Amino acid sequence: MGLSKEERITGLYYAVEKMIEYGDWLDERRQNYEHDYDKLIVFTQQLWHAFIGKNSNGLHWIMGSSASNEVTWGTMSPWGVAINHHCGNILKEESDFLKGRRKDPDPHFFDAFDGFLNIPGLLTQSNICYSYVYEIYNWSEQAIYYLRRYDDEFLKSLNNFSKVISDIQGECFKLFKNDPIYAQAYVLSMVCKILYGNVYPYDKEKWDVVTQYFAAEHAHHYLNRMMNNGEQDLKALAKLHVKLHKAQEEKKLTKMMRVEAFLILSGRKYEYDHQFKKLSDMLKTDGFKKTEIEKLHKLFLQCQKACEENKKESQRDYERSRLSPLSIYGLEFM
C-alpha cells in the first residue's frame, strides 16, 4: 500500500519533533557528557528550518496555506497537522470488524520491555544520554521512511532536509561505532527476549513457569545489571546470546537453560534467600528435578558471593574517599 503526500508530510512532522526533543534533552545534560555530542545537537537544531523553512516557495503549495483557512486532512501546514492530531479521529466510527475483535489493554499489566529491557531502556541504565542518541537515530529512520519512500518531486523539494537527516545518521554512526555500550544494550535486549519467551507479553495464558516467575518477581531489575559494568561484559553476553539463539533455532531451548542464563546475568543483584526459595518452589511444582534445583542453587550462591564482594569493594571505596584530603570540601564543590 502506497503513502499519500499527506501521510508522508504528517509522518515527517512527528519525526522531526521527536528528534529535536531528544536533541534538546541531550543539550540540557551537557555536564554529564562522556562524548562529544555537539555536532549531533547542532544537526537536530537545523531540522525545522530544513523541513519547513526553505527559501523557495516549494513547500508552500505542498503543505497548504495559512492558519486562517479551513483545516482538512490535506492541510499540511504546522497548524493543520496539529489540529488534525487532536481532531482527526474524534468523529470516525469504529468498524464492526474492529468492535468485535479489539481488546482493551489491561491497565494493571506491566511490560518489562517497555522502557526497561528494550534498547533505550537498557541504555538509560548506563547513561540517559546514550538513550537520547539512540532515539534520535530511531526517529531519523522514521523520517527516511516517509521522505525517501519514492524518488519523486517531493523528495527533490526537500533535498536540504534530506542532507541534514544524513548528517544526523552519520554522527550517530560515529557514536555507535566508538562506544560498545550500544552493542551491549542490543545484545542484552535480544537475550532477554529469548529468556521471556516469544509469547511475552502478548499471550499471558501461554506463559510457562519461567516467564511467570520473571513477571511476578520483576526480573528486569536484575537483568539490567550488566549495563553498569562496561565493555568487559560484551564478549560474555555475545557468547551467551549465540548459545541461546542456536538452541532456540534448533528447538532445544529448555526452561533450565533460561533460568541458568537469568542467574548468570543477574549476578550480584540477585542475593536474597527468599527470592531463590520462591523460584525453586515454582520450578519443583513444574517438574524440575532435584539435581537441576541443586545446580541452580550453586549459581545462586555465586550471586550472593558476588554481592558480598561488591559490598566490600564499595566500603573500601568509601573509606578511601573519606580519608582523602579533598573530602573536607564536600559534595557541594563537585
CB 23, CB 40: distance < 8 Å: yes
- Structural domain that includes position 130: 5-65+110-178
Contacts of 57 (CB under 8 A, 6+ apart): none
93 part of a folded domain: no
Q: Identify whether residues 46 and 155 lie together within a single domain.
A: yes
* 243 assigned to some structural domain: yes
User: Are 140 and 195 members of one domain?
Assistant: no
Residue at 73 is within a domain: no
Asked if 191 and 123 sit in the same domain, the reply is no
Nearest C-alpha neighbor of 23 from the set 122, 137, 110: 137
Among the listed residues 300, 297, 298, 212, the one whose alpha carbon sits nearest the alpha carbon of residue 255: 212
Number of domains in the chain: 2
- 136-169 burial, b at 16+ Cβ within 10 Å, e below that, comes to bbbbbebbbebbeeeeeebeebbeebbebbebbb
Query: Do 264 and 240 meet the contact criterion of CB atoms below 8 Å apart?
Result: yes
- How far is C-alpha 133 from the geometric centre of its chain's CA atoms? 11
Residues 200, 157, single domain; the answer is: no
Residue ranges in 88-231 assigned as alpha helix (H): 96-101, 119-126, 128-147, 153-157, 159-178, 181-196, 209-216, 220-223
Report if residue 98 sits inside a domain. no
Query: Looking at the domain assignment, is residue 328 inside a domain?
Result: no
Asked if 139 contacts 15 with a C-beta cutoff of 8 angstroms, the reply is yes
Answer whether 248's CB lies under 8 Å from 190's CB: no
325 domain-assigned: no
pLDDT recorded at residue 334:
44
141 and 24 within one domain: yes
Distance from C-alpha of 188 to C-alpha of 200, rounded to nearest angstrom: 16
The answer on 127 and 236 residing in a single domain is no
Same domain, 197 and 125: no
Q: What is the pTM of this model?
A: 0.81
Does residue 329 lie in a domain region? no
Neighbours of 315 (CB within 10 A): 10
What pLDDT sits at residue 84? 66
> Can you give the pLDDT at residue 95?
47
117 in the same domain as 14: yes
> Are 167 and 221 part of one and the same domain?
no
207 found inside a domain: yes
Distances (CA, A) of 321 to 41, 307, 310: 36, 21, 16
Residue ending a domain, choose from 122, 151, 178: 178
CA dist., res. 100 & res. 40, Å (int): 47
| Terminal Cα distance for the chain, rounded | 57
Residue 286's SS3 state is coil
Q: Does residue 200 share a domain with residue 217?
A: yes
Q: What is the pLDDT along the chain (334 residues), one digit of tens a residue?
A: 688 888 899 899 999 999 999 999 999 987 767 678 999 999 999 999 999 885 444 454 455 454 555 656 556 566 666 666 666 665 454 444 444 444 555 666 789 999 999 999 999 999 999 999 999 999 999 999 999 999 999 999 999 999 999 999 999 999 999 999 999 999 999 999 999 999 999 889 999 999 999 999 999 999 988 887 654 578 899 999 999 999 999 999 999 999 999 999 998 889 899 999 999 999 999 999 999 999 999 999 999 998 898 777 766 655 665 556 655 555 444 4
Q: Count Cα atoms within 13 angstroms, Cβ side, for 85.
A: 12
What pLDDT, on a 0 to 100 scale, did the predictor assign at position 35?
Answer: 76
Q: Are residues 146 and 249 in the same domain?
A: no
Same domain, 205 and 303: yes
The answer to whether 51 touches 12, Cβ cutoff 8 Å, is yes
Among 159, 178, 197, the domain boundary falls at: 178
Say which residues have a Cβ less than 8 Å from residue 44's Cβ, sequence separation at least 6.
Answer: 19, 20, 22, 23, 24, 136, 168
Question: What's the CA gap between 44 and 23, in Å, rounded?
Answer: 6
What is the reported pLDDT for 49?
95
Residue where a domain stops, chosen among 126, 152, 178: 178
**SS3 label, residue 258:** helix
Q: How many helices (H) and strands (E) does the chain have?
A: 17, 0
Give phi and psi for 306, each to the nearest 5. Answer: -65, -35
Q: Which of 144, 2, 165, 9 is nearest to 75 (CA)?
A: 9
